[in-house]
Amino acid sequence: MPFPPEQKTRSRAQILQSARKLFNQYGYTEVSIDRVMADAGLTRGGFYNHFDSKEELFSATLADFACNRESEVADVMEPHPEIARQIVRHYVSRQHQDDFAHQCPLIALPSDVARASSKVKQVYERVVKALVAMFETNVDTSLDKRQQSLALAASCVGAMVLSRTIDDDEFAAEIRDAVIQMSEEMIDA
Amino acid sequence: MPFPPEQKTRSRAQILQSARKLFNQYGYTEVSIDRVMADAGLTRGGFYNHFDSKEELFSATLADFACNRESEVADVMEPHPEIARQIVRHYVSRQHQDDFAHQCPLIALPSDVARASSKVKQVYERVVKALVAMFETNVDTSLDKRQQSLALAASCVGAMVLSRTIDDDEFAAEIRDAVIQMSEEMIDA
DNA sequence: TGTACATCAGTGAACGCGCGTTCACTGATGTAC
DNA sequence: TGTACATCAGTGAACGCGCGTTCACTGATGTAC
């Protein structure tokens, strides 16, 4: 093997990291492969050593994120309502809205995914299911736990989707606060 | 006036209608001016007789929608919880998801708006405010009415944003149903 | 140990293509006289 | 009433540009002997 054996792996990871950040901030269609590769410190042609197409890169960035979230919810048995509350407060926050490098694709890329292939949608779906699973694990309610978890996930996503599209900071904060308040009541009702 | 006086008005309305449908279905960036004009039965060059730029067309389609929604909520005094319930059931439905010509831009174009200019965002914000105002008018609760209305709007939007990005029809329906259920409980609590 | 070679991640020029926008033109209509 | 003209919504060729993708090439490294 004529290259340092870890180099290709490192380059791939770097491309994924740059792609995630740029896609989250500017959108899948707006970001060119050139821009991703330049951000990763590489040049355009090398891209196809790592991915077959731009869409495959998109799918890979989502899979990467889904994988991390899935491993977080695995093997937790006891409900911890405080964890659910903390996650909501972090998810539905201005800080999350501005942190493109770590932003949840559910709020960063919904339209982009809606128009992508089934393959991309199925990866995105894993992220939705990981968020719902987190609620199902940690919500402590006498009501239908599954239904509450689905509604909580939708509400958090909705609050952030609206928050990021709204120019008026105060109004955006009002929406986020309203959903946090509602969530706290739902998490242990 | 050498042309039938209503012709320009009719053409403009037709361009707006085609643009709204195509933007909702395929997204702002994916749809070219050519395609909009062809759908409207016209050719590309004429576009600039009606709009200064593509972004202005985007803004105009949103303004058109906002204007219609705003006039619906004006001058209603008495709360009608049944109207709120009906609107939720229609908003959070598969039918709404598939009806691109009349789809709410809050769920069709969130990412596109998030990346657009402040001017576009401010028009989009009017649609959000119209939805919240509808809830404030019609929700009948002993809790904080404003907060409940904001949370309801976010939840409906979140349910639909997720629903349209999810490939698995059953899972999408489960999310929609969970939010409808939660909304019914919130509308007269 | 030293040398010739094979490997392959990365390079960068080039490709065809569709985009948003411009502009000189067309031709049906209403107006002036 | 008839004719010459002005208007302007709509046309379609052309523009410069950036895109996703291809491909012949480079050159640092590990291997064979």
Q: Where are the alpha helices (DSSP H) in chain B?
A: 7-26, 33-39, 47-50, 54-73, 81-91, 94-98, 105-108, 110-114, 118-138, 145-165, 169-187
Query: Pick from A114, A121, A167: which is nearest to B121 by CB?
Result: A167
Tell me the one-letter amino acid at A3: F
CA distance A83 to chain B (A): 21
SS3 of A64-76? HHHHHHHHHHCCC
Share above pLDDT 90 across residues of chain B, in percent, rounded to a whole number: 90
**Residue closest to A189 by CA, chosen among B3, B5, B185:** B185
Nucleotides of C under 7 A from a protein CB: 6-14, 18-24, 27-31
* Nearest protein residue by Cα to C1' of nucleotide C25: B45
What is chain B's Cα-based Rg? 18
Q: For residues B37 and A25, what is the distance between their CA atoms, to the nearest angstrom?
A: 30
DSSP string, A1-13: --S-TTHHHHHHH
The tokens for B69 are 């929604």
d(CA B21, CA B35): 11
Residue with minimal CA–C1' distance to C7 is A2
Min CA distance, A111 vs chain B (Å)? 6
Q: What is the pLDDT of residues B87-127, one digit of tens each?
A: 999 999 999 999 999 999 999 999 999 999 999 999 999 99
The answer to whether the CB of A62 falls within 8 A of the CB of A120 is yes
Q: Measuring from the CA of residue A12 to each C1' atom, give the nucleotide at the shortest distance.
A: C9
Instruction: Enter the DSSP assignment of A27.
Output: -
Place of tokens 């120019």: A167
Chain B residues in contact with A114 (beta carbon < 8 A): 164-165
Q: Find chain B residues with C-beta within 8 A of A109's C-beta.
A: 111
Q: Please, which pLDDT band fits residue B2 given cuts at 50, 70 and 90?
A: low
Inter-chain contact B128–A164, Cβ cutoff 8 Å? no
**Searching chain A, which residue's CA lies closest to the CA of residue B186?**
A182
Q: In which band, very low, low, confident or very high, does the pLDDT at B155 lie, cut at 50, 70 and 90?
A: very high
Identity of the residue numbered B184: E
On whether the CB atoms of residues A162 and B127 are closer than 8 A, the answer is no
pLDDT bin (cut points 50, 70, 90) of residue A7 is confident
Mean pLDDT across chain A: 95
* pLDDT of A5: 67
pLDDT score at B70? 94
pTM of the model: 0.95
pLDDT at B3: 66
Each residue of A27-63: pLDDT tens digit? 999 999 999 999 999 999 899 999 999 999 999 999 9
Q: Distance, angstroms, CA B120 to C1' C23?
A: 29
